């Protein structure tokens, strides 16, 4: 009776595949089935809405009895394909699959429970681990000495064996060549950070992927998984006979959430639904007067002041579109920002707000972050399979990663970010797994100064305990100083006290956090081009900074030039422009100039010199050169020991050094290992 029902269902589904037309009257699935052989496809993607429109009863069966329904659907597809390509249909008969797309009623992983066992569900989440792809046996072949072959279908974890041949009763042995295998992979899916209730641990579930679904989703991808809820006993529990089981999802189809770039032939669903009314409001806002200032004011309304930092965060969330050249070279579009400043200046608040408002934001603190936790790790699962687990920057791909307490991180963990911040990738070569994961993310980092408070009489590198190559990868660096000023202090105090008294913002922001999030998500779709006028403006500024003949030459690098382009493009995107104009270029120049005139000033000369961010300003470098020249002259060709007192006297006579400065240089050179003390007061070059 059940076989008759399935046969009837299969006939109805065959009629659906052959006869269903879309709104334009085109035979939707008949055309796709006709192309399957040419595209070498073994599965067909069917829209759930089409099934519901064709027959609500069939849609109910799909939801409640997906195994029988999909089996019948596979038979219907085989019959339909056989009419057009009989040879190809026969060849892929065992591998034919139906994939269900647009399945409604998205759930979170914590909503999947025992009531849903055996039913079809749609779950949104993030892939955090992916195992290696292994062959799994579907049907095991047994051969006897007479040459008879019989197949035993395998469904459970343990292999079902047959010992005797059904025809001749001789002992049969496994024949692996005749057995049927398919690709198998386990991926771990975790709740999206934005779905996580406060104070809860994220739920996760292991997903079984087979056939053409393997290697489709990689760690860091945000996906909607349509699959059947399965139940299985833990391998350990089988042996010790405990009646505990665990839920596992068997994947039927994978679709990608928001902004996944790739040539996947699937829908891309924005996590943030932007309605037509929202779009009209966003466009009206962008075209209004003072739109840019209103957007800046809407960022972090609970934090008083810091307008230039709020502007930088806004531009960072938007970023510039990443470019890819013909030879595969990628040009970074993401903007990295570094905040260093006194305690209690709301750095952490700005970071947390940025992670909340960004369309895809993650917040992490430096003390609790390791290199593997930030980038990627290779771990061995309980089953013995090696799995690649994604870290914060991979999970934040195409988004914003905020790292607080950046100075508290261990140096070896922090060095993992070098590749991420410039190449936008994260390479792993561990345990036989060699992979390069995408990490197209903006980094917003905050740190406290080395001495507790920012010392204006020391250069940035002396204030922050960071390696210089990492510091130069930040497009914008801001020093936040807590200076007592009566008027500003009274305004900050009134702002904070007013918030505590009223329990709300002192000044209501023009755009609330939800609308600002939608605005930013919408503006990330814009791709403006650089106008000739904006290009000339940036070009002139760069050459002015690189003027070698000038005494005030600033050693800006092409990194600052690229930063100018990224900032100008981000501003044009924020205002929904098709072209980057002069006003955008001027604002980018202003932001970079502001950085140079705060953290890029050599405190000894008072001149702007980006060398301070590269470890040593020009004034210091020239003094070091003179120091080593004088040392070499006193040592002579035989490299004799140099008396410290004589070296001090010679350099003081030049009127370019004080005695204290020379003593400091000797101490530093001795500490660096470039000179060493042979006996008290005498030194030699290393």
- Which tens digits make up the pLDDT trace of 578-589? 888 888 888 888
Backbone dihedral region for residue 639 (phi beyond 0: left; psi -120 to 50: alpha; all else: beta): left
Phi, psi of 347 (to 5 degrees): -65, -50
The candidate with the shortest Cα–Cα distance to 361, out of 399, 413, 397, is: 399
The mean per-residue pLDDT over the stretch 507-518 comes to 75
| Every domain of the chain and the residues it spans | 2-101, 109-269, 302-317+334-483, 618-685
Q: CB neighbours of 192 closer than 8 A, spacing ≥ 6?
A: 108, 124, 125, 126, 222, 271
- Decide: pTM greater than 0.75: no
For the cut 80, the answer to whether the pLDDT of residue 100 exceeds it is: yes
- Which tens digits make up the pLDDT trace of 442-466? 888 888 888 777 777 777 777 777 7
- Which tens digits make up the pLDDT trace of 608-647? 555 555 555 555 666 666 766 777 777 777 677 776 666 7
Greater pLDDT, 523 or 600:
523
Greater pLDDT, 388 or 99:
99
Give the whole-angstrom CA distance, residue 90 versus residue 502. 73
Burial class, 599, CB count within 10 angstroms (exposed 0-12 / middle 13-18 / buried 19+): buried
Phi, psi of 96 (to 5 degrees): -65, 130
Query: What's the CATH number of domain 2-101, 2.60.120.260, 3.40.50.1820, 3.40.50.300, 3.30.1640.10?
Result: 3.30.1640.10
Cα 105 from chain centre: 27
The mean per-residue pLDDT over the stretch 172-182 comes to 79
Give the whole-angstrom CA distance, residue 303 versus residue 476. 20
Query: What's the CATH number of domain 109-269, 3.40.30.10, 2.60.40.420, 2.60.120.260, 2.40.50.140?
Result: 2.40.50.140
- Work out the pLDDT band at 197, boundaries 50, 70, 90: confident
Q: CB neighbours of 220 closer than 8 A, spacing ≥ 6?
A: 126, 127, 390, 394, 395, 397, 437, 438, 439
Neighbour count for residue 340 (Cβ, 10 Å): 25
The mean per-residue pLDDT over the stretch 291-308 comes to 77
Greater pLDDT, 399 or 263:
399
Q: What is the mean pLDDT of the chain?
A: 76
Please tell me if the domain spanning 302-317+334-483 has the same topology as the one spanning 618-685: no
- C-alpha distances (whole Å) from 347 to each of 120, 342, 404, 508 are 46, 9, 8, 21
Task: Please answer whether residues 678 and 662 qualify as being in contact, where contact means their C-beta atoms are separated by less than 8 angstroms.
Answer: no
Q: Is the dihedral angle over the CA atoms 325, 328, 333, 338 positive or is it negative?
A: negative
Phi, psi of 545 (to 5 degrees): -70, -30
The candidate with the shortest Cα–Cα distance to 448, out of 408, 418, 503, 389, is: 408
- Which tens digits make up the pLDDT trace of 147-157? 777 777 776 55
Q: Which of 337-351, 408-422, 545-559, 654-668 has the lowest mean pLDDT?
A: 545-559
- Which tens digits make up the pLDDT trace of 242-289? 667 778 888 888 887 753 333 333 334 445 567 777 777 788 777 777
Q: Does domain 302-317+334-483 have CATH number 3.90.1150.10?
A: no
The mean per-residue pLDDT over the stretch 539-547 comes to 78
Greater pLDDT, 97 or 4:
97
For the cut 50, the answer to whether the pLDDT of residue 8 exceeds it is: yes
- Work out the pLDDT band at 1, boundaries 50, 70, 90: very low
| pLDDT value for 261 | 33
Neighbour count for residue 654 (Cβ, 10 Å): 9
Task: Concatenate the DSSP letters of all residues of 650-676 into one string.
Answer: HHHHTTS--HHHHHHHHHHHHHHTSEE
CATH class of 618-685: mainly alpha
The mean per-residue pLDDT over the stretch 312-332 comes to 82
Name the DSSP letter for residue 431: T
Task: Concatenate the DSSP letters of all residues of 494-514 into one string.
Answer: HHHHHHHHHSS-SS--SS-HH
- Work out the pLDDT band at 22, boundaries 50, 70, 90: confident
Give the whole-angstrom CA distance, residue 358 versus residue 683. 57
- C-alpha distances (whole Å) from 350 to each of 203, 252, 313, 584 are 28, 41, 9, 24
State the alpha helices, DSSP H only, in 40-133. 48-54, 56-64, 66-84, 86-91
The candidate with the shortest Cα–Cα distance to 175, out of 135, 139, 141, 136, is: 141
- Which tens digits make up the pLDDT trace of 227-238? 888 887 766 555
Give the whole-angstrom CA distance, residue 224 versus residue 123. 6
Percent pLDDT > 90 in the chain is 0
| pLDDT value for 265 | 37
For the cut 50, the answer to whether the pLDDT of residue 20 exceeds it is: yes
Q: Which of 239-243, 543-547, 636-640, 677-681 has the lowest mean pLDDT?
A: 239-243
| pLDDT value for 364 | 82
For the cut 70, the answer to whether the pLDDT of residue 3 exceeds it is: no
């Amino acid at each position: 009776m059940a076989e008759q029902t399935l046969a009837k269902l299969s006939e109805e589904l065959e009629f659906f595949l052959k006869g269903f037309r879309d709104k334009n009257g085109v035979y939707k699935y008949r055309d796709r089935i006709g192309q399957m052989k040419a595209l070498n496809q073994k599965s067909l993607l069917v829209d759930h809405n089409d099934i519901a429109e064709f027959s609500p009863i069939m849609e109910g069966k799909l939801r409640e009895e997906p195994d029988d329904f999909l089996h019948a659907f596979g038979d219907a597809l085989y019959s339909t394909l056989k009419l057009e390509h009989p040879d190809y249909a026969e060849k892929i008969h065992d591998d034919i699959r139906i994939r269900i797309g647009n399945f409604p009623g998205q759930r979170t992983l914590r909503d999947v429970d025992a009531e849903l066992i055996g039913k079809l569900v749609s779950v949104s989440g993030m892939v955090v681990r992916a195992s290696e792809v292994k062959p799994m046996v579907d049907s095991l072949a047994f051969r006897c000495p007479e040459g008879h072959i019989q197949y035993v279908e395998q469904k459970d974890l343990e292999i079902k064996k047959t010992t005797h041949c059904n025809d001749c009763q001789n002992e049969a042995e496994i024949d692996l060549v005749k057995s049927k295998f398919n690709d198998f992979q386990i991926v771990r899916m975790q709740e999206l950070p934005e779905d996580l209730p406060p104070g809860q641990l994220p739920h996760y579930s292991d997903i079984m992927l087979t056939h053409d679904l393997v290697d489709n989703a990689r760690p860091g991808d945000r996906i909607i998984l349509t699959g059947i809820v399965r139940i299985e006993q833990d391998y350990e529990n089988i042996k010790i006979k405990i009646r505990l089981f665990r839920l596992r999802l068997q994947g039927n189809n994978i679709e990608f959430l928001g902004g996944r770039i790739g040539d996947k032939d699937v829908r891309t669903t924005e996590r943030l639904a932007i309605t037509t009314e929202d779009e009209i409001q966003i466009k009206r806002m962008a075209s209004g007067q003072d739109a840019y200032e209103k957007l800046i004011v809407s960022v972090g309304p609970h934090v008083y002041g810091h307008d230039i930092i709020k502007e930088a965060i806004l531009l960072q969330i938007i970023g510039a579109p990443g470019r890819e050249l013909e030879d595969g070279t990628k040009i970074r579009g993401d903007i990295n920002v570094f905040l260093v400043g006194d305690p209690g200046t709301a750095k952490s608040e700005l970071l947390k707000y940025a992670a909340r408002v960004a369309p895809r934001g993650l917040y992490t603190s430096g003390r609790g972050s390791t290199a593997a936790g930030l980038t990627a790790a290779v771990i061995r699962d309980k089953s013995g399979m090696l799995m690649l687990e994604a870290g914060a920057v991979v999970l934040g791909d195409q988004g914003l990663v905020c790292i607080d307490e950046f100075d508290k991180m261990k140096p070896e963990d922090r060095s993992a970010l070098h590749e991420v911040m410039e190449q936008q990738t994260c390479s792993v070569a561990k345990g036989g797994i060699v992979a390069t994961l995408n990490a197209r993310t903006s980094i917003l980092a905050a740190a406290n100064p080395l001495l507790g408070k920012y010392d204006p009489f020391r250069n940035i590198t002396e204030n922050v305990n960071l390696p210089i190559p990492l510091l130069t990868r930040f497009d914008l660096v801001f020093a936040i100083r807590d200076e007592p000023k009566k008027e500003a202090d009274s305004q900050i105090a009134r702002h904070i006290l007013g918030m505590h008294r009223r329990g709300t913002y002192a000044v209501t922001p023009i755009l609330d956090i939800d609308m600002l999030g939608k605005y930013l998500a919408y503006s990330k779709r814009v791709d403006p081009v650089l106008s000739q006028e904006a290009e000339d403006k940036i070009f002139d500024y760069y050459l002015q900074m690189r003027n070698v003949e000038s005494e005030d030459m600033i050693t800006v690098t092409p990194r600052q030039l690229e930063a100018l382009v990224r900032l100008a493009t981000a501003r044009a995107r924020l205002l929904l422009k098709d072209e980057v104009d002069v006003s955008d270029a001027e604002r980018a120049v202003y932001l970079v100039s502001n950085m140079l005139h705060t953290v890029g000033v050599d405190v000894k000369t008072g001149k702007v010199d980006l060398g301070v961010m590269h470890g040593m300003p020009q004034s210091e470098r020239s003094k070091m050169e003179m120091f080593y020249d004088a040392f070499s002259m006193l040592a002579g060709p035989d490299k004799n020991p140099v008396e410290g007192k004589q070296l001090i006297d010679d350099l003081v006579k030049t009127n370019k050094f004080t005695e204290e400065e020379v003593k400091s240089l000797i101490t530093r050179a001795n500490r660096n290992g470039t000179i060493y003390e042979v006996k008290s007061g005498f030194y030699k070059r290393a």
